[in-house]
Structure 1
Amino acid sequence: MADDATGKKRLGAFARNVRGLREAGTVQLISMVIFVLFSVFIARYSWALPGDGEPTPLTNDAERALYDTRAYLAADLVDQDDRIVLVVYDDEALINLEKRSPLPRDALAEALRNLDVMGAKAIGIDVLFDQPQAEDPELVETLRAMETPTSVAYATLATNKADVVFQQQQHLDEFMQAIEEGGTNARRASIRLDDEFGATRVWPNIIPDLPPLLGRAMLEDAGGPFEGFEGYEGAIEYRRALKADFADDVDPEAPVEGQVEEPLFFSLSIELFLDLDPDVAQFVAQEIEGKYVLIGGDILDYDRVATPFTSWTGFEPSGLSVHGELIAQMLDGKRLTQIPVWSIWIMALVVVGSAMVVALLEWSAPKLVPLMLGLGAIYVGLPFMLHFHEVDTYGLPAVGWLVAWIITFTVVTAAARSAGAAQRSFAQGALGKYIPRDIAEAIIDDPDLLSLGGQKREIYVMFSDLEGFTKMSHAIEPEMVAKLLNRYLEMLSKVVLDHGGVIDKYVGDAVVAFWGAPIARGDDAERALKAGYAIWQAGEDFRKEVAAMDASLPKIGKTRVGLHFGEAVVGNFGGETRIQYTALGDSMNTAARLEAANKPLQSSVSASREIIEQANLDWWVPMGRIVLRGRAQPVDIYQPKPGFPEGDRRKLEEVVQVSDSNPELASQLIDQVVAGHSKDSALENYSNRIRNLNNGGAYVLG
């Protein structure tokens, strides 16, 4: 039942907020729509937003950092790959060859001739021959004579602006033409890698006029399994070495700083293939036969490539190793599943839509915080789960989803609250004319408090009436009647609301109010009694105000008040088109008769014992027992007398106790009290009543 009530409350809040948004100002709505569309853009394109030190700190850097984390944690742990061998110019070889740049081509020519007879499946050369060298004819001749399929590095100005200038492009084209003239097993292959955003994470996009990528060309020439990678431009599936070497002072359990991964590929220095000794040649041939051979540099300060692992290990492998990874990925058939673009759009709309719904449902903070933490875990965890299941998550938002959700939730919440604030202010103002502000706020927060129907409640009722106002209204102009009546009701209404009461109705100049519903307070009895006395005082102030306004106006009578505590049915009565929040029951009638009794009692304010017993106010004194008109049961009445002597109050209490059993003593006691208050007409009236009690010790009003 509680869950149903909570659900209805949230649905009510949702409907109310939707109405509020519809009724919001044009500027506010346009601003909200712009921010929501911006959130959709972030949820879809968070990888493409400015970053990398740009002035606008958005999401792409965080997306790539999260992707790198996924890639590192999801990477397969493998032993050294025995399908691929690297023949490298390393720093030691260059020192021995006494030439660093460009790489010695005569050494390469000799190494190629020796490799050609060792049974490699295919050879790939990751060295750009873009500058003329004296050894070029020898190298061209060697390449043209190769029996082993050989792919030679090629680049263009359009694709490798950082590596090639116009003159280099010219020489490179001439070099390639020289190799490819006539029949030859050597051909050009692209060595372009995609290092966008500072790291090589994906395969380079395929450009129709550019030769196939080095690894693609090698597998194609060797008849390897590469067909599944035709047109593939997704993420590179990097692997991690099963074993790793650590410096002596590095804790193996510590983070990867200082860690050096064991090479994934067996590497041989190019020096091994120069002046090759027959015994060494036999050993080297065993390492080359049936394998894919990549030739290039592995130099500390040249052609190093940042990968998704670099932020974890601090290590940048050579570009040659990255080409090896591309070959291995094709050999393993690890073509990662691509996520359709339309599904990313749908997810972006779902993220933003869910944020709007939650914002309009008005979740409380204790429930909202776990929800946001859960959504954060889903938005960040989903790409991890997909990545571990060999789905390409490069470009899949994670941070973008979370940021978009927060922006949308914040904007829609602000818009709904802003629109609702105006409505709430209006509602509070309207309700505040009838009920106290705190009750008005409670009703606005929980409209079910004013649902159609009623419930039995114990309430404190007050009736007031202005003596002689009806007669006076016939003697003056209607405009003046309206002016005086509005002023009078304004003064009395303020008293009721200031004391936390609910104005039930106005009946001409009469004001009906009650306490204890729709919300009950512990001090409602005291509030009601204090309000009753303050109502009489406000009436006296009104009389003085009218007299000072116009001496020709008829004299205003005094305000009389009746107060009672008892059961009533309180709620909304009427129909769906018009309702009135009111109280019905005998307690209402009793309070009305107490108000009317003031006239024969020559008093102004009378309250029943029932309401006095609910409060702790010693300035209300007992004034006997009466039988109200139309009633059979007597009522003990009290009247307010602030500053009344304690001794006299006790005598009045004794009068009530002995009035039935000892009327003579009661008369003596009341006469003693009256003697000290000669101007109190109500006490004098009590003295007369005490001598005319019925058999039950009560005075029957005629």
Structure 2
Amino acid sequence: MIQVSKQRVLVAFLALIGLACSQLAVSTGILRGAEAVYSDSWHQLAGVRLAPSRVAIVCVDDPARAAHPGIPLAFWSPLFTRAIAVMRELGVRTIGFDILFSVAADAWLEQLGLGDNPSTSQYDQPFKEALSQGDVVLAGQLLHGAHGPEAVRRPVPDFYLALPSPKSDCIGLINLHSDADGGVRTYRPRLLRDQPLSFGFLLAVKALGQNPQASQWRFGSRNLVDQGAALPIEYCGPPGTFPQISIERLLAPGARNDSELAPLLAGKIVLVALGQSGLQDMHPTPYARSILGVVPAMMSGPEVHANIIESLLAGQFSQFVPEGLRLALLSVVLLLASWVSVKSGPLRGGLVACGLAMTWAAASYALFRQHALLPVAEAQTGILVCYFGALVARLTTEEKQRRKLQTMFRRYVSREIVDTLLAADKMPDLGGKLYHITVLFSDIRKFTTFSEHMPPDKVVDLLNNYFTQVSQAILEQGGLVDKFLGDGVMALFGVPVHQPDHALRAIRAALAIQAIAQQFRQDAYKSNRPEAPAFAVGVGLHTGCAVVGNIGSPERLEYTAVGDTVNVASRLEGLTKALHWPIVASMETLCAAGPS
């Protein structure tokens, strides 16, 4: 595992990298799409956030048109005049026509040569007089060309000239600001410098009696400065949140005395717009994204303007969490994510990373309900960077440790033991630890005398053959061939992988070594050299606690055991000579091995 001091440096480094990557992704705009998904999700989860009480929508819908068949919209000015009169009488504050008047009946009739007819010469005059009173806002449109905004399309001159001066105070641009994905999530108070205010913003300004020509305006407790920046639209709710009233109710006889109509309009800003026949004025808003099975719904332009007006008059504004606080919170979360990812395994680290990402998202939604904006995608990007960075560091470090284990143990323990070590979630502690083990010492009896009767090359062949078979016997019992001591062998049982039956394994290995010695006694070495002593092996076994780890100098380390247990096993091996026993095992070993 990574050392503690190195872990701390790695945690800090990963958190710094995660923070840098998240901020780089934000600055390059890579996360805009993801942030839009979260913003849209929060809107849909919140549902209706503010019940409309300041804005009403009057629709020129299909039933109203059916009630006046044969009258084109260009000839509706008398009907609009009647509706305006009723709304004023019911106490409407300001009226906005979200209809771009491009044709005036008077001018059209004059082109047809009907302008001298007394019944038609003043067809639009009552509507013009209604406009002159200053409480009506007409729609204008910013026209775009190949190189950007080019001009403002104003209402037809007949109606434009009827507006009181300054006329720009009564014209609002109905253009809506769209994000890169086409979604309408923000608006600008003024679309272009030295041009009229946007439609909804102008109506809110006039409703509060403020000067549209000013450079700043006050809504609730906040001053909005004309800086051309886009502001988040505080949507009150999904499409349909604002009830729509058919203009036919205003045109019906006795509309002024309609007890149900008065509460719907009194003291409000009223938007007059096309209804079902004007479905081309539909826009994708946060509610137009299909999330969690929610059926996407487009929102009409008048509803978007109504949301802007309602939130402005209510003094509700969403503001981003201060940058310093946001970065501080993000740094803490990334440090936590890095620390857990470095200290824990991939599974636990991944679960914690997911938990942190979900917790941040939940906090973002909770703040959204309080009109505070906390980006989500940047935090989740940083958390992912920290997690995968820790994963790469872990894999790199563990790979080094695996190679070290393979180099250290491959020749001295069985392949199964090495594979068990490599497959373990935690690498063995090679720095020194107290283990309960069984130590085996084996030595060839009178080997010096025996070797004197053989050529040197034969001695080497004999030892190589013997050690190969003895090592295999030890490895088959899961033991570790610790070292070769001249003509002897030291082996450990119970490390580096814990074995509850290590004493029994050691006894079986000792018996196997004696079987090998028996085979060697039957070899041709004895028959060819009658004067040589018989080939015999003594084995000593002892069970107890010993310190096991990498021991030696920095230039030469050896994984071995030290302590009284090792010394006792060595002395027991020496007793085999005096007792003339092939195997001497301590009572501790016999008790640990059990009756089997």
**Superposed pair shares fold, TM > 0.5:** yes
**SS of corresponding position for 2:142:** coil
| 1:152 CA drift (Å) | 1.7
Question: 1:187-216 CA deviation, whole Å, 9 max, x = no partner?
Answer: 321112245446543334743334211132
Distance of 2:491 and 2:568 partners within structure 1 = 13
AA matched with 1:128: L
- Which residue number corresponds to residue 421 of structure 2? 441
What does 1:369-380 align with in structure 2 at a 5 Å threshold? Answer: 371-372=352-353, 374-380=355-361
Distance of 1:474 and 1:85 partners within structure 2 = 116
| Preserved contact between residue 424 and residue 444 of structure 1 (Cα < 8 Å) | no
| 1:142 CA drift (Å) | 0.9
Structure with more contact order per residue of length (Cα contacts < 8 Å, sep ≥ 6): 2
Moved more, 523-532 or 356-365: 356-365
AA matched with 2:199: L
| Preserved contact between residue 149 and residue 185 of structure 1 (Cα < 8 Å) | no
- Which residue number corresponds to residue 32 of structure 2? 48
AA matched with 2:302: L
- Which residue number corresponds to residue 371 of structure 2? 390
| 1:483 CA drift (Å) | 7.2
Distance of 2:318 and 2:373 partners within structure 1 = 5
- Which residue number corresponds to residue 175 of structure 2? 192
- Which residue number corresponds to residue 142 of structure 1? 128
- Which residue number corresponds to residue 271 of structure 2? 294
| Preserved contact between residue 461 and residue 588 of structure 1 (Cα < 8 Å) | no
Distance of 2:355 and 2:10 partners within structure 1 = 29
Distance of 2:101 and 2:128 partners within structure 1 = 14
| Preserved contact between residue 47 and residue 397 of structure 1 (Cα < 8 Å) | no
**Is residue 559 of structure 2 the alignment partner of residue 584 of structure 1?**
no
AA matched with 2:271: L
Distance of 1:527 and 1:43 partners within structure 2 = 64
- Which residue number corresponds to residue 576 of structure 2? 597
- Which residue number corresponds to residue 67 of structure 2? 96
The correspondence for 1:521, drawn from 478, 499, 510, is: 499
AA matched with 1:498: E
AA matched with 2:233: I
**SS of corresponding position for 1:155:** strand
Distance of 1:120 and 1:443 partners within structure 2 = 78
What does 1:302-341 align with in structure 2 at a 5 Å threshold? Answer: 302=279, 303-305=281-283, 307-308=285-286, 318-340=300-322
- Which residue number corresponds to residue 508 of structure 1? 486
Question: 1:152-186 CA deviation, whole Å, 9 max, x = no partner?
Answer: 2111232999xx999x9767586786556976586
| Preserved contact between residue 598 and residue 606 of structure 1 (Cα < 8 Å) | no
Distance of 1:115 and 1:123 partners within structure 2 = 12
The correspondence for 1:202, drawn from 186, 199, 202, is: 186
**Are residues 320 and 464 of structure 1, via their aligned partners in 2, closer, same or farther at CA, if it must alter by over 3 Å?**
same
The correspondence for 1:66, drawn from 41, 46, 52, is: 41
Moved more, 231-240 or 206-215: 231-240
- Which residue number corresponds to residue 152 of structure 1? 138
- Which residue number corresponds to residue 233 of structure 1? 230
Question: 1:644-690 CA deviation, whole Å, 9 max, x = no partner?
Answer: xxxxxxxxxxxxxxxxxxxxxxxxxxxxxxxxxxxxxxxxxxxxxxx
Distance of 1:412 and 1:294 partners within structure 2 = 57
Distance of 1:343 and 1:112 partners within structure 2 = 52
| 1:127 CA drift (Å) | 0.8
Question: 1:508-556 CA deviation, whole Å, 9 max, x = no partner?
Answer: 22112233456653322331122113224445677899979xx99x979
Distance of 2:249 and 2:545 partners within structure 1 = 106
Distance of 1:286 and 1:499 partners within structure 2 = 93
TM-score (norm 1): 0.62
Question: 1:61-83 CA deviation, whole Å, 9 max, x = no partner?
Answer: 7424422234426x13x3x62x4
AA matched with 1:228: N
| Preserved contact between residue 123 and residue 149 of structure 1 (Cα < 8 Å) | yes
AA matched with 1:219: A
**Is residue 120 of structure 2 the alignment partner of residue 123 of structure 1?**
no
- Which residue number corresponds to residue 421 of structure 1? 399
Aligned length: 553
Identity of aligned residues (%): 19
**Are residues 486 and 613 of structure 1, via their aligned partners in 2, closer, same or farther at CA, if it must alter by over 3 Å?**
same
TM-score (norm 2): 0.71
Question: What is the aligned-residue RMSD (CA, Å)?
Answer: 5.3
AA matched with 1:68: H
| 1:430 CA drift (Å) | 0.9
Distance of 2:546 and 2:515 partners within structure 1 = 30
Distance of 1:206 and 1:183 partners within structure 2 = 17
Distance of 1:545 and 1:142 partners within structure 2 = 128
**SS of corresponding position for 2:406:** helix
**SS of corresponding position for 1:381:** helix
Q: Structure 2: 5+ residue runs without aligned partners?
A: 111-122, 211-217
- Which residue number corresponds to residue 357 of structure 1? 339
**Are residues 298 and 135 of structure 1, via their aligned partners in 2, closer, same or farther at CA, if it must alter by over 3 Å?**
farther
**SS of corresponding position for 1:86:** strand
- Which residue number corresponds to residue 697 of structure 1? none
| 1:60 CA drift (Å) | 5.8
AA matched with 1:431: F
**Is residue 508 of structure 2 the alignment partner of residue 530 of structure 1?**
yes
**SS of corresponding position for 1:156:** strand
Distance of 1:214 and 1:422 partners within structure 2 = 67
| Preserved contact between residue 105 and residue 135 of structure 1 (Cα < 8 Å) | no
| 1:96 CA drift (Å) | 2.6
**Are residues 413 and 606 of structure 1, via their aligned partners in 2, closer, same or farther at CA, if it must alter by over 3 Å?**
same
**Is residue 552 of structure 2 the alignment partner of residue 561 of structure 1?**
no
Q: Structure 1: 5+ residue runs without aligned partners?
A: 1-8, 23-28, 50-58, 242-259, 619-702
| 1:481 CA drift (Å) | 6.8
| Preserved contact between residue 141 and residue 173 of structure 2 (Cα < 8 Å) | yes
AA matched with 2:560: Y
Distance of 2:459 and 2:71 partners within structure 1 = 110
AA matched with 2:192: P
Q: Could you say which structure has the larger radius of gyration?
A: 1
Distance of 1:520 and 1:109 partners within structure 2 = 92
Distance of 1:148 and 1:158 partners within structure 2 = 29
Distance of 1:585 and 1:335 partners within structure 2 = 77
**Are residues 16 and 89 of structure 1, via their aligned partners in 2, closer, same or farther at CA, if it must alter by over 3 Å?**
closer
**Are residues 183 and 444 of structure 1, via their aligned partners in 2, closer, same or farther at CA, if it must alter by over 3 Å?**
closer
**Are residues 206 and 361 of structure 1, via their aligned partners in 2, closer, same or farther at CA, if it must alter by over 3 Å?**
farther
- Which residue number corresponds to residue 53 of structure 1? none
- Which residue number corresponds to residue 216 of structure 1? 201
Moved more, 173-182 or 264-273: 173-182
| Preserved contact between residue 461 and residue 514 of structure 1 (Cα < 8 Å) | yes
Distance of 1:612 and 1:113 partners within structure 2 = 108
| Preserved contact between residue 430 and residue 549 of structure 2 (Cα < 8 Å) | yes
**Are residues 235 and 171 of structure 1, via their aligned partners in 2, closer, same or farther at CA, if it must alter by over 3 Å?**
closer
AA matched with 1:212: L
AA matched with 1:193: L
What does 1:141-180 align with in structure 2 at a 5 Å threshold? Answer: 142=128, 146-158=132-144, 178=161
